[in-house]
Structures are given as C-alpha cells and as structure tokens.
C-alpha cells in the first residue's frame, strides 16, 4: 500500500466529547501494518492522544486543498475544525470522505522528540481503504507561492 504523500495527511478522532483533528506534514509507513506521525507540541490533537486510542488517518486527494487548510489552521479545542468537512465516523475514528487513503489506527506508542516537545506517534493500522483512481494532494498544491 502506498499510504502517504508529504504534507496533507489528517489525523482525527473523538475523545471525551470533543473532536480532534489536524493536518500532519510528516507521516510515513514504518512497517506493513504500522505508520508514524510527528505531531507538533502546540497541537491539541497530538497532546490529547493516549496509547490505546483509535483514530482515523486520511491521506488527502487532489481537490481537497480546502480541507487541508481548514484542518491545518487553529486548534481543535478552540473551534469545530470539522464544520462543513465531509467525514465518516467509525467509533472514535474520524475519516475524511473521498480521501486517497483512509485508515483506522490504534495508537501503540507516543514518544517525545525535538526538545522533548513534539509527539512522535506510532500507530497500528487496523483497517484501510485506498482509492486507486485518485492522486495524492501534494504539499506544493497547498503551500502559498
């Protein structure tokens, strides 16, 4: 499975009555059933994760730039970042509809990196769906020139 392209990956979940989600620039497969994501220390999404949580991870497709920008701005504990975003919910996992890749994952390990602030998260893929007809949304398509 080709799971990611740099820059437009979303991690999202429900927890304690709140919805958390963010765009993550750094994500990669580290084994067939495991992925890793680096979530900044300022992120409510990353800071509220715990080992054992089940989350959604979506690699966005071309045409989903607005979703990337919406989920990449502000903090989940300050506003509803999902307003108007078409999502699928699978228990606590939130997946972006029409993404190139949709994965339900379980948090296996969280390590502190980069001055012991950022969250390096190891996730086990529990289920996945890939739409081979779609292309990944590239970082270059989202960043301002």
| Digit-coded pLDDT (tens) for 67-100 | 998 887 776 667 788 999 999 999 999 999 999 9
Q: Which domain holds residue 24?
A: 9-142
Whether residue 37 is predicted with pLDDT greater than 90 in this model: the reply is yes
DSSP per residue over 22-62, as a string? Answer: EEES-EEEEETTEEEEEE-TT-HHHHT--TT-EEEEEEPBT
Q: What's the number of domains the chain is made of? A: 1
**CATH code, 133:** 2.30.110.10
The more confident residue out of 114 and 16 is 16
2 located within any domain:
no
| Digit-coded pLDDT (tens) for 24-34 | 878 899 999 99
4 located within any domain:
no
Range list of β-strands (E), the chain: 9-15, 18-24, 27-31, 34-39, 54-59, 87-90, 93-96, 101-113, 118-130
| pTM of the predicted structure, to 2 decimals | 0.90
Q: Which residues on adjacent β-strands are paired with residue 11?
A: 22, 57
């Amino acid at each position: 499975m080709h799971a990611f392209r740099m820059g437009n990956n979303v991690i999202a979940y429900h927890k304690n009555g709140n919805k958390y989600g963010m765009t993550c620039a750094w994500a990669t497969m580290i084994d067939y059933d495991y992925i890793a994501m680096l979530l900044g220390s300022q992120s409510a999404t990353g800071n509220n994760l715990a080992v054992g949580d089940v989350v959604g991870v979506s690699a966005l497709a071309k045409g989903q730039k607005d979703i990337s920008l919406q989920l990449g701005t502000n903090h989940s504990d300050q506003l509803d970042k999902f307003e108007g975003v078409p999502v699928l919910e699978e228990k606590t996992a939130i997946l972006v509809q029409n993404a190139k890749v949709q994965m339900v994952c379980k948090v296996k390990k969280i390590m502190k990196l980069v001055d012991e602030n950022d969250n390096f998260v190891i996730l086990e893929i529990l289920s996945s769906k890939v739409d081979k007809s779609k292309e990944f949304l590239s970082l270059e398509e989202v960043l301002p020139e």
